[in-house]
Chains A and B, each alone.
Chain A
Amino acid sequence: EDKVVQSPLSLVVHEGDTVTLNCSYEVTNFRSLLWYKQEKKAPTFLFMLTSSGIEKKSGRLSSILDKKELFSILNITATQTGDSAIYLCAPILSTSGTYKYIFGTGTRLKVLA
């Protein structure tokens, strides 16, 4: 059975702190892995990772994938209150000629002023 585990489940930090969010997965026919940020409504896309060891960066956020150890991390440096959200990772797997996402339970991040 395909499984995605995110840790920690929740995290409370102060502005300026650095956080590392973890995502481990066991899925068949893995293609890529995505990170999304979900505030009150729709998840918004952050990163798509396909190759191992290549860091992707966007401002204070960065992410990397390890396909051998089957995990990914999302780093946020110098956190701000606007970073408060649920962060979801989703491996993409191919099955029966289609692609589908398997979402993790998410990490709920709260950044205090």
Chain B
Amino acid sequence: GAVVSQHPSWVICKSGTSVKIECRSLDFQATTMFWYRQFPKQSLMLMATSNEGSKATYEQGVEKDKFLINHASLTLSTLTVTSAHPEDSSFYICSASTRRNSNQPQHFGDGTRLSIL
């Protein structure tokens, strides 16, 4: 149980393109989803927390106009990297929790490797 599916797994695109990444909870309702970014040999950095039906909460230093997050249903959250540039190239991972403000373990998707040329 508690499977999180992330799509696509790998994206290569030109600079200036906007890229949408989907995160779905397959067998549970995810009240809260989290978006992380991971650079090579570095840790996961939380970018934002999204609660179903409300605006996402962004971490300090993360541009909300650059990284648009939508969590319109209990099983789907999307991250759109707008006008992507080479410095946005990274590994993006989503995770989901079954309860809002939960202390329980998050379940992670397999991640999306984004490469901007």
Interfacial residues, chain A to chain B (CB-CB below 8 A): 4, 31-32, 34, 36, 41-45, 48, 88, 92, 97-106, 108
Given A32-B103, A48-B104, A100-B46: 16 more A-B contacts, CB < 8 Å:
A34-B105, A41-B110, A41-B111, A42-B110, A43-B44, A45-B105, A45-B107, A98-B32, A99-B102, A100-B49, A101-B34, A101-B44, A101-B106, A103-B44, A104-B43, A106-B43
CB distance from B43 to the nearest CB of A (A): 4
A105→B108 contact, CB < 8 A? no
In the bound complex, CA of A45 to CA of B108 (Å): 9
In the bound complex, CA of A42 to CA of B9 (Å): 11
Contact partners of A102 in chain B: CB under 8 A: 46
In the bound complex, CA of A4 to CA of B43 (Å): 10
CB pairs A–B below 8 angstroms (17 shown):
A31-B103, A36-B108, A42-B93, A42-B111, A45-B105, A48-B104, A88-B44, A92-B103, A97-B101, A98-B32, A99-B103, A100-B34, A101-B34, A101-B44, A104-B43, A106-B43, A108-B41
In the bound complex, CA of A45 to CA of B25 (Å): 16
A105→B42 contact, CB < 8 A? yes
Q: Is the interface of A mostly helix, strand, loop or mixed?
A: strand
Residues of B in contact (CB 8 Å), total 25
Interfacial residues, chain B to chain A (CB-CB below 8 A): 4, 6, 32, 34, 36, 41-46, 49, 57, 93, 101-111
Contact partners of A31 in chain B: CB under 8 A: 103
Which chain A residue shows the least CB distance to B109?
A: A42
